[in-house]
Amino acid sequence: MVNIGVLALQGSFREHLHILSLLERVNPCEVKTVGDLEKISGLILPGGESTTIGKLLKDFDLTEPIIQRITTGMPVWGTCAGMILLAKEIVDEDYCHLELMDIAVRRNAYGSQLESFNTAMNIPQVSDKKIPLVFIRAPWVERVGANVQVMATLNNRIIAVQQQNMLATSFHPELTQDLSFHSYFVKMVIDKANSI
Ligand code: GLN
């Protein structure tokens, strides 16, 4: 079994925990404290409101310990707000949060809540079936560093990226019935655990 944590301060963490509970070999764990963080081998940063989650990370003294775990190799996956938390640059803003991934993201890039939408597409690296994609006030990625792999684009906008142990998606696999993205992340965590 691998312990996979979901940051449980705000946002869609219950939905991620539920999907993880459907997968074999995974023990889903809520992460709210440094003690919780020490027990896990991979971390999901859920969708929600990145400014709120960023502030709560500071209030709960989790920012530095999370940066420490990720820079020393722990796999992490940010969905939507989680992608914003990971980015080294937020376009048109003078702040960022964990500042780990070599990407520039634009918040609310698709417009307001009314412009939220669902679609589906093939992402061969993750699944041989079409994957349903849910976008809710989603960011997109405007620039990537040379060490960042683009996994998926939609209408020429980058919506899924990977940089070594870090994965980020503009959309919310936790709000669908599809397990493929979570399975992909679990494989990243298990491969990492086996390589140590
Ligand atoms: N718009 C939100 C933000 O900027 C992200 C939305 C989401 O996670 N669904 O933080």
Active site residue 142: no
| pTM score over 0.85 | yes
Q: Is the CB of 136 under 6 A from ligand 1?
A: yes
Q: Which CATH code fits 2-195?
A: 3.40.50.880
Q: Which among 80, 96, 97, 182 is annotated as catalytic?
A: 80
Domain chopping of the chain, boundaries: 2-195
Q: How far is CA 23 from CA 82, 134, 166, 188, in A?
A: 21, 21, 20, 14
Cα(170)–Cα(173) distance, integer angstroms: 10
Q: Is the CB of 165 under 6 A from ligand 1?
A: no
Cα(45)–Cα(156) distance, integer angstroms: 25
The tens digit of pLDDT for each residue in 110-163 reads 987 667 899 999 999 999 999 999 999 999 999 999 999 999 999 999 999 999
The minimum-distance atom of ligand 1 relative to the CA of 107 is: 4
Which of 55, 80, 90 maximizes ligand 1 atoms within 8 Å of its Cβ, making it the mutation to test the pocket? 80
Tens-digit pLDDT profile for the chain (196 aa)?
Answer: 999 999 999 999 999 999 999 999 999 999 999 999 999 999 999 999 999 999 999 999 999 999 999 999 999 999 999 999 999 999 999 999 999 999 999 999 998 766 789 999 999 999 999 999 999 999 999 999 999 999 999 999 999 999 999 999 999 999 999 999 999 999 999 999 888 7
H or E stretch at 191: helix 180-195
